[in-house]
């Protein structure tokens, strides 16, 4: 054998080894399922201790993974949280600090086109990307899910929808705000008629996506609008929670049961595909429960949706990946902005060009890394009308029309004892950290629409 032949064989062997490594890495990449509830109370699922609302499928998911007791979202209401989730960045960095109005001709009110999204990154890495459910990141066609990285889409593109009546109006920009909850659903880029109860339809579509792509590596974003108002649910779900006296809370609870069934249908399809252990699953709510609207419970937390108290931003939070992460509890702060960083790390996807605020939390959940994933977490609403900072167990909270307060969450999860006077140096340090972070942000690009016009209640 000549020296040239030997070198050629070595080159071929090296190439084969490299290809084998790539194939092995691809085989080890998990499917990724991100499930987001809408306006779910912190205490309103079984794995959080709720006794009156049965959520067997979510409870099973929690048992299969990690219950993050200090799981947060990056904003206390809908659309900004979703913008942070999709980009892995504090949404205030790019002005997405409010809910966009349903204005199909508006080129500004939506997730800015300069931001790279999670499905775009995973798609580049070879994932099939799908979304089912609520988008709420802009009404103009340029903001459509299929224009932001999703191969397949089924759902509602606005901030909410009637659960029974899906086809009453065609999209009319002149009647946009009045008809947002009545416009047709979309399959990919086209309007589609639908007759099934909306939460049930989302479960059907999510399970079908999993079954359809069981031979591929996929990413699915399952974003419910349940249990967000309007409070509407079939009688069969009401029958499961008939022991709840209040009609409003009973209807809200029944909507959670419907969502749990839809999640169970999706998890069942995953199990049938043989990929249950090899799928990384996240579950959380987009914000805390709106107590006055639905009688949700955020106990033992203070506050509700819209607040920077814990009740607005700390949410039920599960991370499950049986092949890598042992079941248990994780008691240090994690956040919804971590989903992107975690997903691109385990999925072998490229990192976005802009710096991420989220971190890969898998090494922390497995015990490979110690300490808090974040030195600090920050929140801001209304361009600075309210704000909060958490560092370790200390949290500075500044509510609307109030003064900054300091709480030790390890001893006072309900934020009842203000320590700002007794710990002035800690208070000053957190204020300085907030001001430095705030200085990196921009003002909101658009304002939230006026409230109301959410559709009629129906059972």
Q: Are residues 82 and 173 in the same domain?
A: yes
Q: Are residues 118 and 189 in the same domain?
A: yes
The average pLDDT across 46-56 equals: 98
Q: Is the full-model pTM beyond 0.75?
A: yes
Q: Is 216 exposed, middle or buried (0-12, 13-18, 19+ CB in 10 A)?
A: exposed
Task: Report yes or no on 314 lying in a domain.
Answer: yes
Q: Are residues 357 and 391 in the same domain?
A: no
Four-point Cα dihedral 420, 421, 426, 428, nearest 10: 90
Task: Report yes or no on 107 lying in a domain.
Answer: yes
Task: Report yes or no on 119 lying in a domain.
Answer: yes
Are 159 and 180 a contacting pair, CB within 8 Å?
Answer: yes
Q: Which residues are catalytic?
A: 78, 136
Using CA atoms, how far apart are residues 76 and 298, in angstroms rounded to an integer?
A: 13
Last residue of a domain, one of 338, 366, 394: 366
42-to-37, 47, 133, 179, 393 alpha-carbon distances in Å: 11, 10, 21, 31, 19
Task: Report yes or no on 20 lying in a domain.
Answer: no
Using CA atoms, how far apart are residues 222 and 57, in angstroms rounded to an integer?
A: 15
- DSSP helix/strand/coil, 173: helix
**Helix/strand/coil (H/E/C) assignment for every residue in 316-340:** CEEEECCCCCCCEEECCCEECCHHH
Q: Are residues 233 and 148 in the same domain?
A: yes
- The residues facing 389 across adjacent strands are 378, 396
Q: Are residues 309 and 265 in the same domain?
A: yes
Task: Report yes or no on 70 lying in a domain.
Answer: yes
- Name the pLDDT band for 167 (thresholds 50, 70, 90): confident
Q: Are residues 325 and 357 in the same domain?
A: yes
How many domains does the chain contain in total? 2
Q: Are residues 185 and 332 in the same domain?
A: yes
Are 129 and 122 a contacting pair, CB within 8 Å?
Answer: yes
Are 252 and 231 a contacting pair, CB within 8 Å?
Answer: yes
Q: Are residues 142 and 33 in the same domain?
A: yes
Q: Say whether pLDDT at 176 is over 60.
A: no
Which percentage of the chain shows pLDDT scores above 70?
Answer: 90
The average pLDDT across 288-301 equals: 98
Q: Are residues 324 and 411 in the same domain?
A: no
Q: What is the pLDDT of residue 3?
A: 52
The answer to whether the Cα torsion of 193, 227, 106, 355 is positive or negative is negative
Task: Tell me which of 108 and 28 has the higher pLDDT.
Answer: 108
Task: Report yes or no on 84 lying in a domain.
Answer: yes
Q: What is the pLDDT of residue 457?
A: 33
Using CA atoms, how far apart are residues 286 and 357, in angstroms rounded to an integer?
A: 18
Task: Report yes or no on 249 lying in a domain.
Answer: yes
Last residue of a domain, one of 366, 399, 421: 366
Q: Is 12 exposed, middle or buried (0-12, 13-18, 19+ CB in 10 A)?
A: exposed
Task: Report yes or no on 116 lying in a domain.
Answer: yes
- DSSP helix/strand/coil, 395: strand
Q: Are residues 362 and 394 in the same domain?
A: no
> Residue 434's domain spans which residues?
384-438
Q: What is the pLDDT of residue 19?
A: 37
Last residue of a domain, one of 305, 333, 366: 366
- DSSP helix/strand/coil, 41: coil
Please name the residue that has the structure tokens 């399970």. Answer: 207
CATH assignment of the domain containing 427: 3.30.1120.10
CATH assignment of the domain containing 255: 3.40.720.10
Q: Are residues 343 and 432 in the same domain?
A: no
Query: What backbone torsions phi and psi does residue 19 show, to the nearest 5 degrees?
Result: -65, -40
Q: Are residues 268 and 415 in the same domain?
A: no
- pLDDT tens, residue by residue, 11-37: 444 443 343 333 334 448 999 999 999
């Amino acid at each position: 054998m000549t020296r040239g032949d030997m070198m050629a064989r070595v080159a071929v062997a090296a190439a084969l080894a490299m290809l084998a490594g790539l194939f092995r890495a691809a085989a080890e990449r998990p499917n990724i399922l991100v499930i987001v509830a809408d306006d779910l109370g912190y205490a309103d699922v079984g794995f959080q201790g709720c006794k009156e609302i049965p959520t067997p499928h979510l409870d099973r998911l929690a048992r299969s993974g990690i219950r993050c007791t200090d799981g947060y979202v990056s904003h206390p209401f809908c659309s900004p949280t979703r913008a942070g989730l999709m980009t892995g960045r504090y949404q205030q960095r790019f002005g997405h600090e409010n809910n966009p109005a349903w204005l199909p001709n508006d080129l500004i009110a939506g997730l800015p086109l300069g931001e790279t999204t999670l499905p775009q990154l995973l798609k580049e890495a070879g994932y099939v990307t799908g979304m089912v459910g609520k988008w709420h990141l802009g009404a103009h066609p340029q903001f459509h899910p299929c224009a932001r990285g999703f191969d397949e889409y089924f759902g509602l593109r606005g901030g909410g929808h009637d659960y029974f009546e899906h086809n009453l109006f065609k999209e009319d920009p002149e009647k946009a705000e009045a008809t947002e909850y009545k416009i047709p659903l979309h399959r990919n880029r086209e309007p589609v008629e639908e007759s099934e109860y909306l939460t049930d339809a989302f479960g059907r579509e999510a399970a079908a996506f999993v079954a359809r792509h069981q031979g591929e590596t996929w990413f699915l974003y399952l974003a419910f609008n349940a249990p967000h108002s309007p409070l509407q649910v079939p009688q069969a779900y009401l029958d499961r929670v008939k022991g709840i006296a209040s009609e409003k809370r009973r209807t809200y609870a029944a909507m959670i049961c419907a969502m749990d069934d839809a999640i169970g249908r999706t998890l069942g399809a995953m199990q049938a595909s043989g990929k249950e252990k090899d799928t990384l699953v996240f579950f959380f709510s987009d914000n805390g429960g709106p107590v006055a609207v639905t009688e949700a419970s955020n106990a033992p937390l203070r506050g509700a949706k819209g607040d920077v108290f814990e009740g607005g931003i700390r949410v039920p939070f599960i991370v499950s990946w049986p092949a890598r992460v042992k079941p248990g509890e994780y008691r240090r702060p994690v956040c919804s902005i971590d989903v992107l960083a975690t997903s691109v790390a385990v999925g072998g996807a490229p990192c976005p060009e802009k710096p991420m605020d989220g971190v890969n939390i898998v090494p922390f959940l497995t015990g490979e890394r110690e300490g808090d994933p974040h030195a600090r977490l920050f929140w801001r609403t209304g361009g600075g009308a309210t704000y909060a900072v958490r560092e370790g167990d200390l949290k500075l909270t500044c509510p609307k029309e109030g003064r900054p307060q300091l709480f030790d969450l390890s001893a006072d999860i309900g934020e009842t004892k203000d320590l700002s006077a007794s710990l002035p140096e800690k208070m000053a340090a957190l204020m300085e950290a907030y001001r430095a972070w705030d200085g990196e942000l921009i003002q909101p690009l658009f304002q939230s629409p006026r409230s109301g016009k959410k559709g009629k209640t129906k059972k």
